[in-house]
Amino acid sequence: MSVKIVNQLRDSGLAQFDPGTGSPFLSFDFFNCLEQSESIGEGTGWNPLYITDPGISCLYTFIKENSYGEYIFDWDWANFYHKHGISYYPKLTSMIPFTSATTPHFVGESSRNVMETYEKFYNENELSSSHFLFITESEKNFFKSFDYIIRDSFQYHFTNKNYSSFEQFLSNVKSKKAKQIRKERCFSDDIKLNQITGNDLTAEHGLEMYGFYLSTIGEKNAIPYLTQSFFIKIFERLKNSIYYVQALRDGDPIAGALYFYSDDCLYGRYWGACEKVANLHFELCYYQGIEICIKKGLTSFEAGAQGEHKISRGFRPVKTYSAHKFKNPNIHSAISKYIEDERENIDIIMSQLSERLPFKL
């Protein structure tokens, strides 16, 4: 059967692939929740394309009319295009929508036949550029072989050194920093924390988390990419890949944080609060995540994009990668040089940040 390009999940063949204990973001259920909740699709700026060789490989990508929700920032490139009277949009972007998590971009095999079909579509349509964001280390050479430029970025990740408990983790942290962390974890007796997963999750928890998500969006004057329906659906269909950490005051929910997890990694995604409580953000978004990571024996915890304040709380700067191609050869060459210079600066910054890690020698 030949490779085909479709824009409906039901025709993608994605349901044939069982991610098992792999990334929850690559599951049919996750994409289906995005599509059925209308978080992606017409009018959202994320118009999906699936390039599929049924039973062998499926590559997911999106026709984008903007750069919102991507976390690998290319606004300077878009402005450069605009300044020179060239259209930057539409473009192709392959990543898990609104999710700054490293994942494979092929479900199944990394197929050259599928990639060649993708490249043919890219070249034959009015698309300025092609982007694969948060690629895996093993995908770098694959995309290089198709003349993509590899761009370095970095995030902050917690690495689980086979800790048996949070206290054992703290025993590896310098005493002054460990004391600060313990102090940040102290709350009044009327505040309780719950870690909820599996069959204990309910649609009401999804509605609750959606409300907290909106509170963060409003505080940051950001865009609410995800709909209420999305939260309800994932709390039902991906309950065995989710942790919901809930903070209550006198039994009433005041804050929540949403995590996804695979067989080896925890992903911090969204948080929000209807009441300001000192250090509650650190507790729900970082310390509870570290506890879950240790409890489940996961190797790492990706706490999302940005935030130098994560360093003093045990998160290390870790390289992430993306792959880019530009149809205009002069622009492709210019941005390639830009990325080379950027890489040198990132290496310097990461070295400086690593010197601030709180761990004992």
Decide if pLDDT at 327 tops 90: yes
| Average of per-residue pLDDT across 18-23 | 65
CA distance 262 to 241: 7
pLDDT at residue number 219: 83
| Average of per-residue pLDDT across 164-173 | 97
Decide if pLDDT at 125 tops 90: yes
Decide if pLDDT at 92 tops 80: yes
Model pLDDT for residues 31-43, shown as the tens digit of each residue: 999 999 999 999 9
Q: What is the set of domains in the chain, with CATH numbers?
A: 4-155+318-354 (3.40.630), 161-298 (3.40.630.30)
CA distance 170 to 163: 10
Torsion over CA of 206, 212, 214 and 218, rounded to 10 degrees?
180
| Average of per-residue pLDDT across 42-65 | 95
Lowest mean pLDDT among 66-75, 99-108, 134-143, 217-226: 217-226
Model pLDDT for residues 298-309, shown as the tens digit of each residue: 999 998 777 889
User: Do 97 and 225 contact (CB within 8 A), yes or no?
Assistant: yes
| Average of per-residue pLDDT across 113-134 | 98
pLDDT at residue number 18: 65
Other residues' Cβ atoms within 10 Å of the Cβ of residue 185: 15
Decide if pLDDT at 252 tops 80: yes
Lowest mean pLDDT among 178-192, 212-226, 230-244: 212-226
- Print burial letters for 305-327: b (CB count within 10 Å at least 16), e (below 16): eeeeebbbbbbbbbebbbbbbbe
Higher-pLDDT residue of 206, 221: 206
Decide if pLDDT at 277 tops 80: yes
CA distance 1 to 16: 15
Model pLDDT for residues 172-211, shown as the tens digit of each residue: 999 999 999 999 999 999 999 999 999 999 999 999 999 9
User: Do 173 and 336 contact (CB within 8 A), yes or no?
Assistant: no
User: Do 154 and 303 contact (CB within 8 A), yes or no?
Assistant: no
Decide if pLDDT at 1 tops 60: no
Decide if pLDDT at 221 tops 90: no
Number of Cα atoms under 13 Å in the Cβ half of residue 303: 28
Share of the chain above pLDDT 90, in %: 91
Decide if pLDDT at 255 tops 70: yes
| Average of per-residue pLDDT across 231-257 | 97
User: Do 302 and 266 contact (CB within 8 A), yes or no?
Assistant: yes
Decide if pLDDT at 20 tops 70: no
How would residue 271 be classed by pLDDT, with cut points 50, 70 and 90? very high
User: Do 81 and 128 contact (CB within 8 A), yes or no?
Assistant: yes
pLDDT at residue number 22: 77
